[in-house]
Structure 1
Amino acid sequence: MSDCAPVVARVFSTDERQALYDVIAHRRDVRNEFLPDPVPEDVLRRILGAAHAAPSVGLSQPWDFILLRDPVRRAEVKRAFDRANADAQEMFPAEQRSAYAALKLEGIEKAPLNIVVTCDRTRGGAVILGRTHQREMDLYSTVCAVQNLWLAARAEGVGVGWVSIFDPAELRPVLGLPDHVEIVAYLCVGYVSELFDRPELEARGWARAASLDAHVRYEVW
């Protein structure tokens, strides 16, 4: 029998399926609820393993995971966030700026671990199956790895917060990134004291989540 022969697809039980849906429904973007307790290496390994199991275009696996624990390096990242966050506040209408300023939008220094998920845009060679006409598929593949990481972390009782308010050019020298590697996600990771029972921005009145039906279309836009 060939090594690549297909096998019968596993059918998951009702409880297993429900556990997956529960993890998805209870995933949260964590900002201020981090505890100082370190994430054990075996737990971290499982979470990263889930991320590494994500689908990727042409099996290129373009992602890498930079683990940041150094407080000095993270302080540099926090300063980059603070500069960008001050700029971002001014982009909103005047009546929203005070509400924006009251939001906690990162846990860079509070979380015990930061993980930078990058995309090596040269990995796999010049021509990659599935990326011949949509060059951005490597970035999308890396985002799939981020989602896997996030859901695995939630299943392990570990919180994750995605920080996107910074100028990537400021972080490149801090992280020593080569030119062909892009930052896809800056994640704050750690155990948490509590979680919101719905998206925090909704709980704080900043936005409201729409229903599924508002986003389902048939055949054409």
Structure 2
Amino acid sequence: MEFDEVLRRRRMVRTYDPDRPVPPEIVDKLVKHALRAPSAGFSQGWGFLVLQSPEDRALYWSSTTDSGAEADSWLQRMSSAPLIIVALSNKSVYLERYAQPDKGWEDRAESHWPVPYWDIDTGFAALLIHLTAVNEGLGSLFFGIPPEKIASFRAAFGVPEEFMPVGALTVGYKAEDKRSPSLRRGHRPVDEVVHHGRWNA
């Protein structure tokens, strides 16, 4: 698929065909493409938890959500996805990388970082998973884990403390979906968000 077409087709999909698993070669491609994301200092401080079995997926939903979701809710529809990939960042990898001689931040202070690049870079990697899914004819959705559920998620899957879940992606073959009401807002006009030379020019 041409890149322009991938971008045209890209959207967040919340309903999946539960009877069509994602082929292993595509799962492999999704993760390998994530590793092509840029990272500050080529630190690559990320990790990906791939959940495919019904047991693992059920454990994910039970550890990250409250029971009793309405049958027609977006969360209930999303749980039909045959694949979940959780993208996690590791700040300590970046602090160690930038303490090396070619960078020189030996104090490992977070204050050197104007924004948390470990999270940004992991977000880039998640976007590559999302776009690869679209390119392979699949649907995908990126969403967050509620802060109050991170501890139960960690415990359920044995995730080390240094890894922070930045978000998760559901992936699968699209089923008939409901359009999000948010889409009625439309895209913001280019001239509202793009500024050339000076912000107010």
Does the alignment reach a TM-score above 0.5?
yes
Is 1:220 paired with 2:177? no
Mapped pair 1:33 → 2:16: yes
1:120-171 deviations in Å (ceiling 9; x for gaps):
2222552425984336111111100011111111000111112325332221
Offset from partner CA, 1:42-63 (integer Å, 9 cap, x none): 1222222211101011101112
- What amino acid does structure 2 have at the position aligned with 1:220? W
Comparing 158-167 and 39-48, the one that deviates more: 158-167
Structure 2 counterpart of 1:113: 83
- SS of 2:93's partner is coil
Give matches, 1:41-120, under 5 Å: 41-83=24-66, 103-105=73-75, 107=77, 109-120=79-90
2:139 to 149, 159, 162: 159
Instruction: Confirm or deny: 8 A CA contact 2:85 2:170 kept in the other structure.
Output: yes
**How much has 1:77 moved relative to structure 2?**
2.9
* Distance of aligned partners of 1:175 and 1:162 in 2 relative to their CA distance in 1, 3 Å threshold: same
Amino acid paired to 2:44: Q
After superposition, the Cα gap between the structure-2 partners of 1:80 and 1:193, relative to the gap in structure 1 and judged at 3 Å, is: same
Question: What residue is the counterpart of 1:177 in the other structure?
Answer: 159
Q: What is the aligned residue count?
A: 187
Unpaired segments ≥5 residues, structure 1: 1-15, 87-99
Distance of 2:76 and 2:86 partners within structure 1: 14
With structure 1 as the length reference, what TM-score do the two structures score? 0.71
Secondary structure of the residue aligned to 1:123 is helix
Q: CA RMSD, aligned part only?
A: 3.1
TM-superposed deviation, 1:79: 3.2
Give unpaired runs (5+ residues) of structure 2: none
Equivalent residue of 1:144, what SS?
helix
* SS at structure 2 position matched to 1:188: strand
What is the DSSP-based 3-state SS (H/G/I as helix, E as strand, rest coil) of the residue aligned with 1:31?
A: coil
1:168 aligns with 2:150: yes
2:116 alignment counterpart: 136
Where do 4+ consecutive residues of structure 1 move more than 6 Å? none
TM-score by length of 2: 0.77
Q: 1:188 and 2:170 equivalent?
A: yes
Give the deviation of 1:116 after TM superposition: 0.8
TM-superposed deviation, 1:108: 5.0
Contact residue 145 and residue 165 of structure 2 kept, 8 A: no
Task: Select the residue among 106, 126, 129 that pairs with 1:149.
Answer: 129
Higher alpha-carbon deviation: 136-145 or 21-30: 21-30
Q: 1:183 to 1:139 in 2, by over 3 A?
A: same
